Amino acid sequence: MKKTMMAYLIILFSFNQFLYAEEKIILVGSDWCPYICTQKENPNKLAQNPGYIIEIVQYALRDIQISYESPSWKRALLETRKGTYDAIVGIYTSVAPDFIYPKNELGFSKMCFYVHKDNAWEYKGINSLSKIVLGTIEGYFYDEGEVDAYIAKNLSDNSKIEYIPGEKGIIQNLEKMMLNRISAVIDDYQVVGYTIHRNNLPKAFKRAGCLEGIDVHIGFSPAKPKSKEYADRISSAVKELRTSGELKKILNKYFIKDWK
C-alpha cells in the first residue's frame, strides 16, 4: 500500500510540474537596432536595451520565457517555418506570407540610400544605381522589387554590388564608405539614423533618396499551435502601449518617434 501511495504521489507531482512548467518560446532575427539590438560581443544575446520591438514583445508575452538566437536569415526563415523557432522578429509579410502576424504592425521601415556628405549622387530610379558601388547586407530584402532584382543580378560584380554578413552589417558598410570602398549604402532609415547617432557620425553622411516604406512585423511559425494566440496578444499590446503613453517612452530610448 505504501509503495502504491508513493508511486501515486510521484506521478501526481510530475503531472503538476508539467502543468506549471514555464512556457518558452525562441525568437530569431538579426541585429537591426533600433528594432532588435544584440550585444556587440555576442549576436545571439540581446543587448541591455534590446530594441523597441523586443520590448513590445516582452511586454505582450511577459508570462512566457523568451530566448533569442541569431542564425543566418535563410536558416531563420526555414527553421521558423518548420517550427524549430517560434517567430522571426523584424520581418515583412511579403517575405513569408504563410507566417502568422499580429493585426497591428510593429513599425514602419523605409529603405534609403546614404552617401558621404561630399558625394553628389542621388537615387533617381533603378538606372542611377549603375553609376555607383552599392553596399548591401547578405540575405536582406530591400524592396521586394526592382532594387532587389538589380542586387541579385549583379551580386557577383564587385564594381556594382558589395555585400557583407548581417551581424553589425550597417556599421561595417558605413566604415567601408568612409574608406571609399563603396559609393553608397542602402538600409532602413531608422537603423542608419540610430547607428549614426550612437557612433557620433551625424555630419559624415547624408540621405540620397528613399524607396517606398513597408510595415515591419513579428512573424510566428505556421507550424506552432499557439502562434495565433501570441500574435493576437502582441497586437493588443501595441494598442495598449500606445494608448497609455508607454510606447512613446520605449521609443524615446531609441531616438525614434511613433510610426503612426
| For residues 220-244, average pLDDT | 98
> Would you identify the CATH topology of the domain 22-107+215-252?
D-Maltodextrin-Binding Protein; domain 2 (3.40.190)
- Say yes or no to pLDDT of 38 above 60: yes
Please tell me if the domain spanning 22-107+215-252 has the same topology as the one spanning 111-212.
yes
pLDDT of residue 60: 97
Q: Report the C-alpha gap between 30 and 118 in whole angstroms.
A: 31
Residues 51, 32 contacting (CB under 8 angstroms): yes
In the block, residue with C-alpha cell 505582450: 60
Q: Are strands 134-137 and 161-164 parallel, antiparallel or unpaired?
A: parallel
pLDDT of residue 166: 64
The model carries a pTM of: 0.79
| For residues 107-126, average pLDDT | 95
pLDDT of residue 167: 59
pLDDT of residue 126: 96
pLDDT of residue 148: 94
pLDDT of residue 19: 43
Residue 41 confidence class, pLDDT cut points 50, 70, 90: confident
Residues 35, 27 contacting (CB under 8 angstroms): no
Q: Which region among 7-11, 53-57, 181-185 has the lowest average model confidence (pLDDT)?
A: 7-11
- Say yes or no to pLDDT of 65 above 90: yes
Evaluate whether the domain defined by 111-212 bears CATH number 3.20.20.100: no
Residue 118 confidence class, pLDDT cut points 50, 70, 90: very high
| For residues 166-180, average pLDDT | 84
- pLDDT tens for 235-252 read 999 999 999 999 999 999
Angle ∠(150,152,156) on CA atoms, nearest 5: 110
pLDDT of residue 122: 97
Residues 6+ apart with CB under 8 A from 231: 100, 101, 102, 103, 218, 220
H/E/C letters for each residue in the chain? CHHHHHHHHHHHHHHHHHHCCCCEEEEECCCECCCECEECCEEEEECCCCCHHHHHHHHHCCCCEEEEECCCHHHHHHHHHHCCCCEEEEECCCCCCCCECCCCCCCEECEEEEEECCCCCCCCCHHHHHHCCEEEECCCCCCCCHHHHHHHHCCCCCCCEEEECCCCHHHHHHHHHHCCCCCEEEEEHHHHHHHHHHCCCCCCEEEEEECCCEECEEEECCCCCCHHHHHHHHHHHHHHHHHHCHHHHHHHCCCCCCCC
pLDDT of residue 201: 80
Percent residues over pLDDT 90 in the chain: 72
Q: What average pLDDT is seen over the chain?
A: 89
The residue type at 250: I
Where along the chain do its domains lie? Answer: 22-107+215-252, 111-212
- Say yes or no to pLDDT of 9 above 70: no
CA distances from 100 to 86, 222, 243 (A): 10, 6, 24
